[in-house]
Structure 1
Amino acid sequence: MVITAPARTLMDELGIGEDRVRALGKRLIRRADVAALQEGAAPQPAAPAALGGADAAELVLPRTQRRIADVVSRTHREVPAAYTVVKVDVEDALRLARELTPRERILVGLPELLVKAVAGLVGRFEVAYATPIAPGRLRRAATAHVGVTMDAGKGLFVPVVHDATNRSLGEISRTLMKHRLAAMRGAFREEDLSGANIVVTLHNEGAVTLAIPIVFPGQVCALSLAAPQREAVPVGDGFEARHTVHLGLAYDHRYANGHDAVQFLEAIRAALESPAALVEDTP
């Protein structure tokens, strides 16, 4: 029996053992086979109750949310996570994004710049991108595969910008736009959602100033980007209105410590506050 990598990833996420997979009697196990197993074990929506019946007040969560519940529950059971946040001045990054959007003929914003910044640090912060394989042991990553959260009303998905380290800002922007369209249509391919070794969670609503992400099983870190806020910042002898964001990092405390988290966040902050280098840093 051969189990594909996406299928094994989903098995880990859902806590499905090989014995259940072997019981399918198939020679090749794909992600869809694992998903069907989970769906078969999940509670099924009840038949519509008669008006005013006892079950009329019950809500049955959609399949996507039930899967999220499984992953979140497993994460909170298994990962002793810690969290650190820094404030980042993104005034220059926002200005650059506005200039690049018409030039690249594709939307460039803070998420795109952040993915590019994160992708460029894989050589300096190996643990942040590594895969835990045993207590005290991790597998190094040669490149950053950055997952980015997206929810367009059809459920929460985490599509991946594969090999982001070796891709230009324009290529990253086009990939994220393709993923946004897939999120709106509910049309992701299996390979779009597999292989991430670090995740960026986006919280774009204007009132959101802080969000704590979960660390997905099999990863060490997850970043959160809150919405930009306009505030008065000291400049010289006076003040200037500038946009800032809170950039947070949740991390598995078994593999990283607070000092590591701060150094990683400071490196990302420096990249976003001097964003021109993200355009020049093109493979």
Structure 2
Amino acid sequence: MPAVAITVPGVGESITEGILSRWLKADGSAVKAGEPLFELETDKANNVVPASASGVLKINVAEGETVDIGSTVGTIDPEGQPTAAAPTANDSKQVSAPPKAAATPAPAVASDSNGGAAAALSPAVRRIVAEEKVDASQVGGTGRGGRITKGDVLAHLATPSSEPAAPTAAAAAPSPQPSNGAAAPSGLPRETRKRMSGIRQKIAQRLVEAQQTAAILTTFNEADMSRVMDLRARYKDTFKTKHGVALGFMSFFLKAAVEALKAFPAVNGRIDGNEIVLHNAYDIGVAVSTERGLMVPVIRDADRLSFAGIEKAIGAFAVKAREGTMAVSDLQGGTFTITNGGVFGSLLSTPILNPPQSGILGMHSIQKRPVAIDDQVVIRPMMYLALSYDHRIVDGREAVSFLVRIKECIENPERLMLEI
């Protein structure tokens, strides 16, 4: 029976490539159909790809390599004999692909005559060793068979050398700047380098594209949070008992955003070539900060959801973000985005659009400030609001009026028809 090719599956119509971030099975090990095989990292989410057949795994692409959708990264031989033991608890998090030229497990790595990486290193580790000019013979390997992993190299770089390196001609020359090789007063290196994750690279790319392709403008306002806070204080216990979920601020703002989008549909639109596309659905993205970077899961048909439905959806996405199980489908198709920098203490910001959307609402910290009400100066809990919008499709009048509608809904939450 011929070997079965392991191909990179499609994970979304707009995604053409990803990074093979981690093999979950060792090269030469036995795998069963349906078992998790490798992790594919895209700009949207991490996806665990299962084995399509049972047999012995042959890895052709190392961890950290960029792979095209549909490309072959290895094979499974249904009639093969395993040559590697299953990963243990200590090495299950770092299963590196061996170099293609190595037929048997390589011994501990030694450097070549020039101090570069030996051929036994994986391509990803060789790249780091070459870029950082590391003597591989000085790095202790913690991988299987003493193999050096990327983590070993990074740990070596972060550890101050016990013996100063011989000065080069450039280092011997007087310089007003401290040497990069010298340790900081804390004993740590003056700088530490690490590779950007695939999702961080994509986030950076998309943010730059947003600023280069859209005419982004931001308008500001502020909202008195007194009545929303009073409602939460009075009904939070009843709400929690009835619906099994806490009542947060985000559901108020999401409901207010739906009302404002209905009144000013251009903010819920996008530009496609020479056409303006106006969405008749209200699929609101809610920005969530994770260890891997910013993600924006989408709450579908938010206009049809109750406050409890919105809070349950937000809670479910929070669990997925923590567990790293967010699917690509959870992140696609949003028409408008809300981001809350206030949870980190931000007082004011100018959020960047989430392409191809034309609007994003920024929430901020609630602070008690003196404000004038009925010619009297009183102290109220106030929140600054920011709306960034694409001026190519949204006029200034519409943007300002949109934010005023948000303010009106928050300061008069009865309009949102809270369901207790």
Q: TM-score, normalised by structure 2?
A: 0.55
Query: Which of these two proteins has the greater Rg computed from alpha carbons?
Result: 2
| 1:111-260 alignment, distance < 5 Å | 111-135=250-274, 137-205=275-343, 207-236=345-374, 238-260=376-398
Give the distance between the partners of 1:33 and 1:64, measured in 2 at CA.
7
1:29 maps to which residue?
none
Q: 2:246 aligns with which of 107, 111, 118?
A: 107
1:70 maps to which residue?
205
Bigger helix fraction: 1
SS at match of 2:272: strand
My pick for the range that moved more, 142-151 or 182-191, is 182-191
Q: Residues 99 and 279 of structure 1: is their aligned pair in 2 closer, same or farther, counting only changes over 3 Å? A: farther
- 1:144·1:163 contact (CA, 8 Å) conserved in 2? yes
My pick for the range that moved more, 83-92 or 203-212, is 203-212
1:86 maps to which residue?
221
Give the distance between the partners of 2:222 and 2:216, measured in 1 at CA.
20
Amino acid paired to 2:325: A
Q: Residues 224 and 57 of structure 1: is their aligned pair in 2 closer, same or farther, counting only changes over 3 Å? A: same
TM-superposed deviation, 1:279: 2.9
SS at match of 1:57: coil
Deviations 1:42-77 (A, max 9, x none): 996734164549798322223332221121121122
Q: Residues 104 and 58 of structure 1: is their aligned pair in 2 closer, same or farther, counting only changes over 3 Å? A: same
Q: Residues 130 and 39 of structure 1: is their aligned pair in 2 closer, same or farther, counting only changes over 3 Å? A: farther
Counting aligned pairs with the same residue, the percent is 21
Unaligned runs of 5+ in 2: 1-8, 17-39, 48-63, 69-122, 129-149, 166-180, 182-188
Which gives a bigger RCO, structure 1 or 2 (Cα 8 Å, sep 6+)?
Answer: 1
My pick for the range that moved more, 53-62 or 150-159, is 53-62
1:17 maps to which residue?
none
- 1:119·1:143 contact (CA, 8 Å) conserved in 2? no
Give the distance between the partners of 1:60 and 1:99, measured in 2 at CA.
49
| Count of residue correspondences | 258
Q: 1:8 aligns with which of 1, 10, 13?
A: 13
TM-superposed deviation, 1:39: 6.3
TM-superposed deviation, 1:163: 0.4
| RMSD, matched Cα | 3.1
SS at match of 1:71: helix
